[in-house]
Amino acid sequence: MTSKIQISLKRANSETVNLKSMSPEALDAFLAVMSSLKTIALSVANEDEVNFKIKEGSALGVVEAPKSKMALIYKELDNAIKGESDDKIFTSGLRRIQEQFQRDTFDFDFHYYDNLKSEPIALHRRLKNTSRITAKRVKSSYLYKPKILQGYLNQIGGKDPNYHFDYGGGHKITIDCSKEEADSIKNYLYKDINSFVVCKEADKNKMKENYLHKVIIEKEYTGDIKTFIRAYNQENDLVNKLTSIHDFIDESFSKKKKYGFEILSYILKGFNDKNYHLSELKTLLVISKPFINHDKIELARKSLIETYNEKKLKL
């Protein structure tokens, strides 16, 4: 069973805008909102879990997803509007929608439809009248954290190697990488991809987070890893973090045996960074030790051992 979010564009006099005869200004506004809605949805749900529709004859866009995923999207929308979300990609996308909603030229209707409710929940008035949406600053002892970024890869290069995700409407993200990584990433140019990165939180003097590339994840594994990381980053207790790593890997093998080694490989590569806590690296080495010679994780584990030993020597 699915739920949906629906956005429609109207003129200032409440007349519905016809999709077949839109002014350039109306088209830009509608496309900016739909592009941002896509960014929002895919920051929570996997690509194969959401479906986007444009209703024929009118500027009305719909995003559909399984009830459980749409409930998460709505919860994050509600948190962001209340200023309680710490997801910068989500809040940035919602802020761009808010900017269009606050224009005098057009009006928007924005509704969340839950099949269990008889009436949709209206969000457009709250978005229009609330203060500028920003991410909540969360005090954390963890400066670096794992993250999954999904986007359209449209540029690789630069004096200092990096690549760019273009979310449309002037919203872009730059991800740093090595020269060797940049060479391998070229195979994904002009495609939508999922990147496992290390994210450095922005300090008081910087508006943007810094991202360091770790590994590109194939779509079929993204949903489970994204859900794990989202919960992982909400933990601020190291013991709980380490327990969640163990539980996630254990569940990957017990419930999805054909995916266990693939997911373990991605986690080993994604956490292969000296900015993580030594205990995080050691936990992964202990978890993966029984499979030390398995071809799907052997090289990733050896590389993580090198990182662990380098970090340990500097302590």
CA nearest 268: which of 253, 255, 285?
285
- pLDDT tens readout for residues 278-311: 999 999 999 999 998 899 999 999 999 999 999 8
Phi and psi, residue 20, nearest 5°: -85, -15
pLDDT of residue 141: 53
- Which DSSP string corresponds to 259-292? THHHHHHHHHHHT--TTS-HHHHHHHHHHHGGGT
Residue 241 C-alpha from the chain's centroid:
20
Share of the chain above pLDDT 90, in %: 37
Would you place residue 204 in the very low, low, confident or very high pLDDT band (cuts 50, 70, 90)? Answer: low
Average pLDDT on 200-227 reads: 83
Residue carrying structure tokens 């919602």: 94
pLDDT digits (tens, 9 = 90+) for 26-36: 888 888 899 88
- Residue 267: the pLDDT is 97
Q: Is the pLDDT of residue 117 over 80?
A: no
Return the pLDDT at 87: 78
**Predicted local distance difference test score (pLDDT) of residue 213:** 96
Q: What is the mean pLDDT of the chain?
A: 86
- pTM check: above 0.85: no
Please give the single-letter amino acid code of residue 137: R
Segments of the chain assigned E as strands: 2-11, 51-54, 60-66, 106-113, 121-122, 144-157, 162-166, 172-176, 192-200, 210-217
CA–CA gap between residue 202 and residue 213 (Å, rounded): 17
pLDDT of residue 169: 66
Tell me what pLDDT residue 265 has. 96
Average pLDDT for residues 43-60, to the nearest whole number?
83
- Helix, strand, coil shares, percent, the chain, to 5: 45, 25, 30
In Å, how far are 63, 75, 109, 114, 116 from 4, measured between CA atoms?
6, 13, 14, 7, 12
- Rounded to the nearest 10°, the torsion over CA 74, 36, 19, 24 is 150
